[in-house]
Amino acid sequence: MGEAGRKAEGRAGWRTGWRTGWRTGWREGVAWFGAGGLAGALLMSGGAVQGQTGPATAPAAATPAPAPVAFVGVAAQVAEAERAFARSMAERNHAAFSAWLSEQAVFFGGGDRVLRGKAEVAAGWKRFYEGPSAPFSWEPDRIEVLADGTLAHSSGPVRDPAGKLIARFNSVWRLEAPGTWRIVFDRGESVPP
């Protein structure tokens, strides 16, 4: 059989296999049209995943895309959490700072220093809360949220007491309970003078 004949047989096989798959179920249809070609199998699984009518189901290996989350307010929640976190510095409230930390928090310090866990991060940042005025301030200017609404990234400028830009922060927030965001990762990066 020439190539044109094989192509014609493959097209006919997937068409018949497609109908058979819908009529007798996904597994019988795939078993039947094994010779009908991969294109038929891909089309058939795509139809099942897209929710077309019929008794067919998606193959076990297919993972449907997550349903989109209604982002109304989610990014705003994270932005407000970041602002409240920053207010703890301005108000010199170390207990409030600590309350925003996840138990698994990881903060990257200067050089190779990494603070791991809520207690270590809180202890490592205590020195920033000891004086009468804040040594720096920050605010978010960008928030990105995962499609499932459970993890978010915030970033923004870090300023010295005079308002001069000295760094940018990057924080990862996790939704740990309904309406409760806590910081899990934080890293600041100096900006060139």
pLDDT, one tens digit per residue, over 49-93 is 334 444 444 445 555 555 454 556 899 999 999 999 999 999 999
H/E element holding 172?
Answer: strand 165-177
Residue 173 Cα to chain centre, angstroms:
10
Taking the complete model, does pTM exceed 0.85, yes or no? Answer: no
Q: How far, in Å, are 6, 37, 63, 132 from residue 13 at the CA level?
A: 10, 7, 26, 79
What tens digit of pLDDT does each residue of 12-27 get? 443 333 333 333 333 3
Q: Name the nearest CA neighbour of 97 among 189, 186, 166.
A: 186
Q: How far, in Å, are 72, 106, 185 from residue 11 at the CA level?
A: 46, 56, 53
**CA 117/CA 39 separation, integer angstroms:** 51
- What is the pLDDT at residue 35? 37
Which stretches of 25-175 are DSSP H helices?
26-32, 38-49, 74-90, 94-99, 118-125
| pLDDT grade for 121, boundaries at 50, 70 and 90 | very high
Task: Flag whether pLDDT at 95 surpasses 80.
Answer: yes
For the chain, state the CA radius of gyration: 27
DSSP single-letter state for residue 161 = T
| Strand partners of residue 165 | 159
What domains appear along the chain, each with residue ranges and CATH number? 3-49 (no CATH), 74-190 (3.10.450.50)
